[in-house]
Amino acid sequence: MNAMPRKRVAALISGRGSNMLSLMAAARQPDYPAEIALVLSNKVDAPGLATAREAGIATAALSHKDHPTREDFERAMQAILDEHKIDLICLAGFMRLLTPWFVEQWQGRMLNIHPALLPSFRGLHTHERALEDGVKIHGATVHFVVPEMDAGPIVAQAAVPVVDGDTPATLGARVLAQEHVIYPLALKLVASGATRIDGNRVITGEQASDHVLVAPTPV
């Protein structure tokens, strides 16, 4: 019997690409159900593009500034995704709002990672805002993308403690370390077909305990 073909994933980035790297590392495992077939950036100078190129992954740089409207940009992006026969998209620090048109093309096939425990702290500067609000638990979320920003059925979350003396940088680093754990995990669940969307919930069956992580308090 043939093994199920690995899903072809495009990682969409705008910068450093550390989450993209964590997905690439996971996909090197022979039994991982997805391969990173393309890294696409809307910033031509994104450091993550060079990293991907060095790893021998196909890359595309498509500046949104070269396209008169958001939808023109997205149609160009869609053409590249089609050319590479992409099955799933992982937004990995892609700092561009997507139109409902594009989101609908990829409904149930596009994931995003957000540096907060959604639905808290949608948008930018999540670590600053978590500290300002004095929360004791912060974290990261992987979710399916829907037209509304930083919303959509949640696949995986990781919680981290907020500790005395934290700055946005120390807290952000603690969250990022967990992002690198849950994104490969969430992609594995989705690419292997283990997930089912039921309203706003993601049902993961037997692997339910795999997608909620609580990081220990640092010493």
Catalytic residue ranges: 114
Piece of 14-22, 24-32, 128-136, 198-206 that binds ligand GAR (CB under 6 A):
14-22
Sole binder of ligand GAR in the list 16, 70, 96, 129 (CB under 6 A):
16
Binding residues for ligand GAR restricted to 93-122, rule: CB under 6 A: 93, 113-115
- How many residues bind to ligand GAR according to rule CB under 6 A? 14
Least Å from the CB of residue 106 to ligand GAR: 16
Residue 176 in contact with ligand GAR, rule: CB under 6 A: yes
The nearest distance, CB 161 to ligand GAR, in angstroms, is 18
Q: How far is the CB of 145 from ligand GAR (least distance, A)?
A: 11
Instruction: Tell me: does residue 139 bind ligand GAR (CB under 6 A).
Output: no
Q: Pick the closer one to ligand GAR by CB: 142 or 191.
A: 142
Q: Which span (9-17, 23-31, 69-77, 127-135) binds ligand GAR, by CB under 6 A?
A: 9-17
Q: Are 26 and 181 in contact (CB under 8 A)?
A: no
CB of 52 to ligand GAR, least distance (A): 12
For the four alpha carbons of 144, 74, 4 and 35, in that order, the dihedral sign comes to negative
Point out which residues bind ligand GAR (CB under 6 A). 13, 15-19, 48, 92-93, 113-115, 176, 179
